[in-house]
Structure 1
Amino acid sequence: MIPKVKFYDLTAAGRRILNENEVCTFYFDRDNLRARGGMSHIHEQTLLCGKKVATKGLPADKPINPENVFYLANEARALATLLQDKPHPNIIDYFGLVRIGERPFIIMELLDEEQDQSSRSLGFPLPVDEVLTIGLGIAKGLHHVHRHGLTHRDVKPSNFVGTKLIDFAFCWKHGLPIVIDGHQHSSGTSSYFSPAIVSGSEPTIQDDIYSLGVSLFEMLSGKSALPPGTDPHISRNLLGSRIADLAICRGLTPGIAELLFAATKTTPEVGVMRESGFSSCRDVIRFIKSLINVD
């Protein structure tokens, strides 16, 4: 027996996208599996109207984990907040949260498969102009996130699909406690953490900017900015000792090096390490535009 679809929210905080009679039976098998993550799987679905969407939910072959449910609901809340008025060109679109049986699922935009594979593959380094285009789009998405009082907290190349930012499971609203309902509101992938996050400081927008800088470095150089096991406290500027790697990137200019250093700039005091060369993603956007001559 196929569980009935039950609707939590199809309004995206006021912007109605779907009606209940538009949603058909959802299927979850290998044929329509698009992505597999540690906490969730993404499947392609087709609505009765013919529109293709994606469902993101807990893996069907694993027990329901309350912590994973927490992060899935957290992602839905964040996306509903960010997209309450209209879609944003640099953020994956959100259509609603449903329950199928006992499992919650986010209904979201189905991203282009070719775009998905090109920007999330491990085929780094990428051409400089492509990295700058991706960086500009992600900075615009992050600026929208920050304007709503949120930080993404999991900025990394695998969460960039073309110029769209995805995976808001760890998104955090300023002013809220780090522990909510007994769940530790943790950040994403440690190799992209800023030294401030490693020190246990409360997240700020500079931490997202830092992670973006590290991501751009990886896409340009094809190397990790922070090798596994390296303590993020050891260097005033984590890219400083790796700048020779950038020399192998075609088209590298002093301006691009300045972009990377400014995004990852930190103060030398252990436990402080929060100073950024960019005060906001608006500064990042302006700087990247100056590099590619875009208004």
Structure 2
Amino acid sequence: MIKIGDKIDDRYRIVSRIATGGMADVYEANDLVSRRIVSIKVMKEELLKDPVNLARFNNETASAASLNHPNIVKVYGRGFIDGRPYMANEYIKGQTLRDKLNFSMALSISDACEVMLQLTSGIDYIHRHGLIHRDIKPDNLFYMSDGTIKISDFGISTPIGSYCKGDTIQGTIYYCAPEVLTGAPASIANDIYSMGVVFFETLTGQLPFDGASLEEVALKQLKKRFPEPSKILPSIPKSIDKIIITACRKRPEERYPTSEAMHQAIVDAVSDKSNFMERKGILSRIFGFK
């Protein structure tokens, strides 16, 4: 059992327990080497016998550790403590985008575009490294006090083009692209669809498809026409409408070919002064592609 004051691998001293989730316990710790504060995510002991959960945790640590981008939660180290895998992450002091939406229902058009510029930048970086995130949603996006967005949770990320094993749909139904529901291989288009849904939700405060059951939601994702955001919020510019509708086309080949293309479409929309009464210096916060 991990206690306050314990040292992990003679490097991380546990300061406090931050949270506990379905898969892991999370602690605040001091990195005695770098002298920075980190969060330590330790897999729960009772889940070690479940090969699916163990594979998911190990996948998250391996995928995230290979990435270095300002919009992705950094992984500083990983290992085992008492036979349980752990990873040392960048310490995130902030709320998730889900928390922010729960409080305010929706963001302003400018703030939503700012979120999406950062999200598309980070996801493009992930794609350029051959990975699909597969679980893009407000719950996995940390909204920092300075406005920076941090992408987290790589537990079900997978290489581009790979097939998912098993019959269970991976990801969250409300944000799943139609082809994911039919078992198509992982592609960039999957994440682009999910980002379109996030954009829709941040602007309108609603999901494009809802229902009494997940099966009903999935059927709507497959069959129903994607709603225009401006029909819910008339102040949304047509150029933003077009971005979301393009990202969420039923056919993957009709969406943006890359996250960078979606990013650029948002840049173009934001750059058109006629779209915004108040731009709030949004362009100064754009993260460039590398």
Q: TM-score, normalised by structure 1?
A: 0.78
- From 226, 229, 241, the equivalent of 1:238 is 226
Distance 1:223 1:2 in 2: 41
Describe the SS at the equivalent of 2:26.
Answer: strand
CA 1:168–1:133: 2 relative to 1, 3 Å: same
Q: TM-score, normalised by structure 2?
A: 0.79
Which residue of 1 is the match for residue 93 of structure 2? Answer: 112
Q: Does 1:261 align with 2:245?
A: yes
Give the AA of the match of 2:231.
Answer: A
Q: How does 1:89-238 map to 2 (within 5 A)?
A: 89-113=70-94, 116-117=95-96, 120-121=99-100, 122-123=102-103, 124-162=105-143, 163-179=149-165, 187-228=170-211, 229-230=216-217, 231=219, 232-235=221-224, 237-238=225-226
Deviation for aligned residue 1:221: 0.7
Deviations 1:10-47 (Å, cap 9, x if unpaired)? xxxxxxxxxx55x13436xxx5314x433233322222
Which residue of 2 is the match for residue 24 of structure 1? Answer: 12
Deviations 1:73-111 (Å, cap 9, x if unpaired)? 101111223x2xxx3111111112121102111111111
Which residue of 1 is the match for residue 31 of structure 2? Answer: 47
Distance 1:175 1:259 in 2: 25
Greater share of residues in helix: 2
Deviations 1:122-178 (Å, cap 9, x if unpaired)? 232111111111111010011011111110000111111132211111100125452
Preserved contact between residue 192 and residue 248 of structure 2 (Cα < 8 Å):
yes
Deviation for aligned residue 1:276: 3.1
CA 1:143–1:243: 2 relative to 1, 3 Å: same
Which residue of 2 is the match for residue 286 of structure 1? Answer: 264
Preserved contact between residue 170 and residue 185 of structure 1 (Cα < 8 Å):
no
CA 1:169–1:77: 2 relative to 1, 3 Å: same
Which residue of 1 is the match for residue 276 of structure 2? Answer: none
Give the AA of the match of 1:164.
Answer: K
Give the AA of the match of 1:42.
Answer: V
Give the AA of the match of 1:202.
Answer: P
CA 1:239–1:39: 2 relative to 1, 3 Å: farther
What value does the CA root-mean-square deviation take over the aligned residues?
A: 2.5
Which 5+ residue runs of structure 2 have no aligned equivalent?
Answer: 144-148, 272-282
Deviations 1:177-217 (Å, cap 9, x if unpaired)? 523xxx77952111111111011111110110000000111
Aligned length: 256
Preserved contact between residue 162 and residue 185 of structure 2 (Cα < 8 Å):
no
Which residue of 1 is the match for residue 277 of structure 2? Answer: none
Which 5+ residue runs of structure 1 have no aligned equivalent?
Answer: 7-19, 267-272
Give the AA of the match of 2:107.
Answer: L
Deviation for aligned residue 1:277: 3.0
In the TM superposition, structure 1's runs of 4+ consecutive aligned residues that sit over 4 Å from their partners are 1-6, 183-186
Q: Does 1:80 align with 2:68?
A: no
CA 1:165–1:185: 2 relative to 1, 3 Å: farther
Deviation for aligned residue 1:255: 1.1
Describe the SS at the equivalent of 2:206.
Answer: coil
